[in-house]
């Protein structure tokens, strides 16, 4: 019986493994990426979750996912740099009317909002909660009277 060997790309991945990596980076969900890449029954999510977890532990898979994330980040940064350059160019245009500048700046502002470029790079959230029952001042008064 003749077995067909699976061809691998330059990253040492089969076509389905490559598709899994790309989908994982695109949608951010290993289970769904596995279901889509391997054309699995969507009702078998538990098995897909287990398989996706095992795949992500493979060095060549995790390296490829990291590489794809970095490529995506570089594209994102390049687009951001291009937009910032466009903005600078518009601001430096003195031959255009104020109305034309205003329209162009509004278009750039809308685009940057849609792309999330005007969001802070990092947000710190304090998630501490204080829960009290009853009147705390009353309890303090009682302890002070002892």
Per-residue pLDDT of the chain (146 residues; tens, 9 = 90+): 445 557 999 988 999 999 999 999 999 999 999 999 998 888 989 999 999 999 999 999 999 999 999 998 888 777 878 877 877 777 676 566 777 777 777 877 777 777 777 666 555 556 666 666 666 555 444 444 54
Residue 59 in domain: yes
Tell me the pTM.
0.56
pLDDT reported for residue 1? 46
Asked whether 30 and 56 are in contact (CB, 8 A), the reply is: yes
Residue 91 in domain: yes
C-alpha distances in Å from residue 10, one per residue of 15, 18, 31, 33, 60: 11, 10, 25, 21, 11
Residues of the domain holding 72: 15-115
Q: Name the domain count of the chain.
A: 1
Closest by CA position to 104, among listed 115, 114, 92, 116? 92
Residue 96 in domain: yes
Q: Please give the structure tokens belonging to residue 66.
A: 């990291």
Residue 126 in domain: no
Residue 6 in domain: no
Asked whether 38 and 16 are in contact (CB, 8 A), the reply is: yes
Residue 40 in domain: yes
Asked whether 49 and 30 are in contact (CB, 8 A), the reply is: yes
């Amino acid at each position: 019986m003749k077995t067909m060997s699976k061809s691998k790309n330059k990253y040492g991945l089969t076509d389905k493994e490559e598709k899994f990596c790309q989908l994982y980076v695109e949608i951010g969900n290993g289970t769904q990426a596995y279901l889509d890449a391997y054309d699995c029954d969507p009702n078998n999510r538990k098995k897909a979750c287990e398989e996706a977890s095992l795949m992500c532990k493979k060095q060549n898979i995790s390296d490829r996912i990291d590489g794809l994330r970095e490529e995506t980040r570089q594209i994102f940064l390049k687009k951001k740099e291009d937009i910032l350059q466009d903005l600078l160019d518009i601001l430096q245009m003195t031959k255009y009317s104020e109305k034309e500048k205003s329209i162009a700046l509004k278009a750039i502002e809308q685009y940057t909002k849609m792309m999330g470029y005007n969001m802070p790079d990092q947000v710190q959230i304090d998630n501490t909660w204080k829960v009290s029952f009853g009147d705390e001042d009353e309890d303090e008064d009682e302890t002070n009277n002892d």
